[in-house]
């Protein structure tokens, strides 16, 4: 059995798009042996456990030291397990850990996955004085998988010399088209129209712009917000200041398995992002039959074609958001066309079985190189 060691700064029960992707892919490739080194972000988390098909090893300490502690742990595990390849989830803390391991084990193939959602400016600012070392992550990778064309170009720009393939994150199409039960929510009255977002409450997702857009829309249009983040208190205060408390509802963290039920009662999905590596949530909404409003940034244009699979709004323009909402609520012909096209695209291009098969091909190439 071929053995793969994964470096990831976080993993279940802490869940984002990258964590979902790793779990969905590894669950579909049981013929490979999977180990992971991740950070023990909470003392309640076990130092070792098996999640799905992955043996999880959690190392303690500050996030800043993760590249070192993870590399040390990887070296110890490699003596016992003799890994056939390593896999880094993003070119950040995990990327540095994989780089350090690669430098001391140059013959072991290194796959880098680019899942970055922050803007290029933000990434470079965070990298700071470590920029020359950070660029080596791209230069030392033997293969790069990017979840969007935008991130593929990003990898090439910063030093990738290896093959770079665009393989997006996927969606469990059946689950999002067939929620396991119907949701009853008092927030949505019979004549209401419901906007929804499933988003981290951080600056790049611009949920504040979506809230402001409600000012330009009729009172029966409400906004359901699933997710948590550092801006939660500020966004709640914003709804109070704009007197929109009765039209917005913050549900906080919702387990990923429960999200299809919420999408099923919504009329429009919206996230007016400032930056986006790809955005799993958009594809999930499309699979669920919810028309999407988004901005033309980052990896979003890979799947959202304006007027065909969704509508583009302008960046930082709440009035533009409101205009697109009105179009989708008033033009039933266009709405239906977008829903049908987006669903077909999600099934054809973003099913996890298809994505896992493409990833399997990469690992086969790496392990025989």
What total of structural domains would you count in the chain? 2
Please tell me whether residues 274 and 322 are part of one structural domain. yes
Please tell me whether residues 182 and 220 are part of one structural domain. yes
Which domain, by its residues, includes 189? 173-349
Please tell me whether residues 154 and 29 are part of one structural domain. yes
DSSP 143: E
Report pLDDT digits (tens) over 295-354.
999 999 999 999 999 999 999 999 999 999 999 999 999 999 999 999 999 999 999 999
Please tell me whether residues 244 and 260 are part of one structural domain. yes
Report the C-alpha gap between 189 and 12 in whole angstroms.
Answer: 35
Please tell me whether residues 186 and 332 are part of one structural domain. yes
Query: Is there a contact between 263 and 290 (Cβ–Cβ < 8 Å)?
Result: yes
Alpha helices in the chain (DSSP H): 17-27, 66-81, 93-104, 120-127, 131-140, 149-157, 173-177, 207-213, 232-241, 259-263, 280-287, 318-330, 332-349, 352-368
Quote the pLDDT of residue 308: 98
Quote the pLDDT of residue 43: 86
Please tell me whether residues 267 and 356 are part of one structural domain. no
Query: Is there a contact between 110 and 86 (Cβ–Cβ < 8 Å)?
Result: yes
Please tell me whether residues 189 and 134 are part of one structural domain. no
Please tell me whether residues 11 and 109 are part of one structural domain. yes
Please tell me whether residues 75 and 186 are part of one structural domain. no
Q: Within the chain, which residues score under 70 in pLDDT?
A: 369
- CATH number assigned to the domain comprising residue 85: 3.40.50.2000
Please tell me whether residues 187 and 280 are part of one structural domain. yes
Please tell me whether residues 188 and 156 are part of one structural domain. no
Please tell me whether residues 8 and 91 are part of one structural domain. yes
DSSP output for 25-81: HHHT-TTSEEEEEEE--STTS-SEEEETTEEEEEE-S-GGGHHHHHHHHHHHHHHHH
């Amino acid at each position: 059995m071929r053995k793969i060691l994964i470096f990831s700064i976080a993993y279940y029960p802490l869940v984002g798009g990258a964590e979902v992707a790793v779990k969905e892919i590894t669950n579909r490739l049981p013929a490979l042996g999977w180990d992971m080194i991740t950070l023990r972000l909470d003392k309640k988390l076990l130092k070792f456990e098996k999640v799905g098909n992955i043996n999880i090893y959690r190392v303690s300490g500050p996030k800043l030291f993760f590249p070192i502690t993870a590399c040390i742990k990887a070296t110890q595990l490699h003596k016992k397990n003799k890994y056939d390849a390593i896999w880094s989830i993003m070119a950040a803390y995990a990327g540095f850990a994989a780089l350090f391991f690669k430098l001391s084990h140059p013959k072991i193939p290194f796959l880098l996955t680019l899942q970055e959602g922050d803007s290029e400016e933000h990434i470079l600012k965070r990298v700071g004085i470590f920029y020359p070392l950070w660029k080596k992550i791209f230069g030392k990778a033997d293969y790069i998988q990017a979840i969007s064309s935008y991130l593929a170009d990003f990898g090439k720009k910063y030093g990738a010399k290896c093959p770079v393939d665009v393989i997006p994150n996927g969606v469990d199409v059946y689950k999002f088209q067939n929620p396991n039960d119907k949701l009853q929510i008092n927030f949505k009255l019979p004549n209401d129209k419901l906007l929804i977002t499933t988003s981290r409450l951080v600056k790049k997702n611009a949920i504040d712009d979506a809230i402001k857009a409600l000012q330009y829309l009729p009172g029966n249009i409400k906004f359901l917000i699933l997710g948590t983040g550092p801006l939660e208190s500020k966004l709640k205060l914003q709804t109070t200041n704009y007197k929109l408390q009765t039209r917005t509802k913050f549900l906080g963290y919702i387990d990923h398995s429960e999200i299809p039920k919420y999408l099923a009662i919504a009329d429009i999905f919206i996230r007016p992002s400032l930056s986006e590596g790809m955005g799993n949530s958009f594809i999930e909404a499309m699979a669920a039959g919810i028309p999407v409003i988004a901005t033309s940034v980052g990896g979003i244009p890979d799947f959202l074609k304006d007027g065909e699979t969704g509508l583009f709004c302008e960046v930082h323009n709440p009035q533009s958001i409101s205009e697109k909402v009105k179009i989708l609520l008033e033009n039933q012909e266009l709405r239906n066309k977008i829903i049908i096209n987006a669903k077909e695209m999600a099934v054809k291009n973003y099913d996890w079985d298809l994505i896992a098969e493409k990833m399997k091909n990469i690992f086969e190439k790496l392990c025989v190189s």
